[in-house]
Amino acid sequence: MEQDKYSPDIKAVLDSLLLSLPGVSAGKMFGFPAYYVKNKMFACIYGDGVGVKVPGPLAQKLLAQPQIIPFRPLGRPPMQEWIQINRPKAVDYRQDLEIFQAAIDFVSTLDDR
């Protein structure tokens, strides 16, 4: 997959959903649209899915759900505390607000590394 390939429809939905939340800003990571809180990335659009950083126990729970897989950007091994949500339609990501909020809360508590 080329680094600049992602769904603009997903970006439009996530921009409207996430950028209205306190402290959330937009940016890029490896050429893909990303979302940050306290200068730390908590989500990024990757192809036709969205990578989201959540606490390990929540990630394990979410991986049991359909349409959620380990996040493996650029063919790398699965990233700890990251999941990838793959919804059939961009608008379906609105149902994941609780996951995005959990990611924001989690990343906000992490020390700078």
Q: What is the pLDDT of residue 1?
A: 39
Per-residue pLDDT tens for 93-108?
999 999 999 999 999 9
Contact between 81 and 53 under an 8 Å Cβ cutoff? The reply is yes
pTM passes above 0.85: yes
| CATH number of the CATH domain containing 64 | 3.90.1150.30
Q: Flag whether 32 is in a domain.
A: yes
| Pairing of β 32-37 and β 68-70 | unpaired
What domain range includes position 59?
A: 8-109
Interacting residues of 38 by C-beta distance below 8 A, sequence separation 6+: 23, 107, 108
Give how many domains the chain has, as a whole number: 1
Q: Does the structure show a pLDDT above 90 at 75?
A: no
Judged against a pLDDT cut of 70, whether residue 43 lies above it is answered with: yes
pLDDT digits (tens, 9 = 90+) for 2-14: 445 889 999 999 9
Residue 111, number of CB atoms within 10 A of its CB: 5
